Amino acid sequence: MKLIKPNDLMPTNKNEGISGLVLETGKSVLFHSKNKWKSIAKEFLPEDAESIICVPIVRSNEILGILLLSSTKKRAYEKSQLMIVDILCSHFAIAIENARHYEETKAKSERCALTKLYNYRYIEAKLNEEFSRLHNGSRDLLSLIILDIDHFKKVNDTYGHQSGNEILCELADRLTNLIDTAGIAARYGGEEFIVLMPDTSKEDAIGWAELIRQTIANRPFILKQTIDGRSSSTKVYITASIGVAAAPDDADDSLALIRHADRALYVGAKQAGRNRVAEYVK
């Protein structure tokens, strides 16, 4: 048995092979012996295959995939069995669609609609998962970076909330590109962002935090505006204050880790002048 998705077929001017025939016509096919299908088959099939059933998996007039069954026996399948497979594929199509909707809903529930970063709900669950690993010994280190844009209200008041949203999205892109696979970036809320860094020491996390600070402060954010049909660009420089805490040294649970990184942010960075990185100190 083989499940073929439409995207798995080679992009040609005309779909080829047994599965291509089914994809093109949307109808099931049944072959009783190899000499009936060998001249059109382009798929990988067992050398000793004889009988073949190929059925489209259709939902809402869209072909989601193709189910291909083969047997080493001639006349292994009859029309009655083809009808049964057709019915099974209709249930299969519903299951695929439900799974797709579930994944889409799950992704939306875990992502910030504006920046497309993970949201607090996701990062909270991820933190609990990482602390479980710390406690069972499968994880040794866990660092957390929290950053807050300095004087962001002034940006909104000066350029408007839409421009403020553009800055948030651009900052999210910079974070994603910089961190890559070294950590997980998320929007904590408002103008606050989190970077969760498994297996990263506090010292290394501070280094990452400094890179993030420089990535924000050293390159302007470009705001594009259209007024009375005329387009213009404005350079806006912003800075961020950043706090860093790490487990297990600074915290025994996820809430404590967030609280301590947040304290480092506001006491060690904001109150000390902003545009700086501070670590939590007990």
The C-alpha atoms of residue 16 and residue 23 are separated, in whole angstroms, by 9
Distances (CA, A) of 87 to 18, 77, 81, 172: 20, 15, 10, 46
- Is 50 designated active site? no
The C-alpha atoms of residue 67 and residue 57 are separated, in whole angstroms, by 7
Category of 208 on φ-ψ map: left (φ > 0), alpha (ψ -120 to 50) or beta: alpha
Supply the DSSP string of the chain, one letter for each residue: -EEE-GGGS---SS--HHHHHHHHH---EEESSHHHHTTT--S---TT--EEEEEEEEETTEEEEEEEEEESSTT---HHHHHHHHHHHHHHHHHHHHHHHHHHHHHHHHB-TTT-SB-HHHHHHHHHHHHHHHHHTS---EEEEEEEETTHHHHHHHH-HHHHHHHHHHHHHHHHHHHTTSSEEEEEETTEEEEEEET--HHHHHHHHHHHHHHHHSSPEEEEEEETTEEEEEEE---EEEEEEEETTS-SSHHHHHHHHHHIIIIIIITTTSSSEEE---
Of 170, 191, 203, 279, which residue is the catalytic one? Answer: 191
Question: Which residues are the active-site residues?
Answer: 191
